[in-house]
Copies of this chain bind each other. A is one copy, B any other.
Amino acid sequence: MHKVAIFGAAGYGGIELIRLLLAHPDVEITYLAGHTTVGEELTDLYPHLRGKLDLPIGETSVNRAIAQADLLFSCLPHAVGAELVAEALDKDLRVVDFSADFRLKDASVYEQYYRPHPVPDLLAEAVYGLPELHRAEIATARLVAVPGCYSTGAILALAPAAQAALVAPRAIIVDSKSGVSGAGRSNLTLTTHFAEVNESLAAYKVAQHRHGPEIDQELSAWGEEIRVTFVPHLIPITRGILTTAYATLREGISLAQVQQVYANSYADEPFVQVMPAGRQPATKQVSGSNQCYLGLAVDDPANQLIVTSAIDNLIKGLSGAAVQCMNLMLGLPETTSLEAPALWP
């Protein structure tokens, strides 16, 4: 039985991670740490876990985690936990990090979107935790950075097209629509106030969102430098991201060919499904699951490839991805505790 500790356990990422790990036969949660919640019982904060995990919330201390765990999930926000992650690695604790701190390879890009990087030397070693692109490296990594939720949906939507050079590397549009849970639990602002968000739609951080550079980095892995125009939108649902990606097809490529390339790319992937031609995924089809569903279409007169992807932002877009990486790191079957289908309806 592997033992894991969780920092930032009381946020949405932490709580969803706990739910998934509670169903995991080979992993035990031995330590929980929080920030404003130290000393509280997890089940007082989250009554839905009554009887499932009676652990108090302790301090965010690497030494305590090491005393009780073989692997650390750091669910701390961006720019809060980087030094702790470095300390944990120094003390031989493997880490799966939920923040943006170790996703970007280029410290100057990181600095542009966040702050000067406190431990830039770790960037080269950290592995981007998208198993569909980095499975082998994740298995042996000491430090895995879980991708941004938007990034996962966008990268899985476009990677086969980029890899097979089906599309031009410019004028790629990524129009994403996210539920409100992506803002996190401690984010109590007017943009999460029910009466302001409900029955409304809006774009935000147009072409300025911090997940943009992640998408570019990962899609540029096959020779051509790709840069997308990324526009996120806030949608009044709790869970789910739908991404609609647009790219100009190279001459003479048909929808059938695209469909074949995608089917081949993801043939062995347990968590990516390419829908039959003519069908588009709905986020509800993956809500509560670790699946990413993809739908393909081509606007022939405009030569535009249109790919839609649907994920649950808190599972495949966050905590499920973290468990998937953990399974790989620990040599467990990759799908363990991640096989539940969506709840419907």
Contacts and interface: CB of A to CB of B under 8 A. Distances in A.
Interface residues of A, number: 87
17 contacts: A48-B341, A50-B273, A170-B302, A173-B173, A177-B177, A181-B345, A185-B193, A185-B195, A192-B194, A194-B238, A196-B345, A199-B284, A200-B282, A203-B242, A206-B299, A227-B301, A236-B237
Contact of A200 (B202, B287, B298, B340): B287
A199 B304 contact: no
Nearest to A289: B48
Interface string A142-179: 00000000000000000000000000001101010101
A92 to B, nearest CB: 33
Nearest to A181: B195
Nearest to A22: B341
B345 A185 contact: yes
B308 A203 contact: yes
Given A199-B239, A231-B244, A194 B177 contact: no
A343 B48 CA distance: 8
A242 B200 CA distance: 9
Listed residue (A181, A227, A284, A289) with the most chain B CB atoms within 10 angstroms of its CB: A284
**What are the 7 A-B residue pairs with the smallest beta carbon separation, nearest first?**
A200-B284, A207-B299, A202-B282, A48-B342, A195-B345, A206-B297, A201-B242
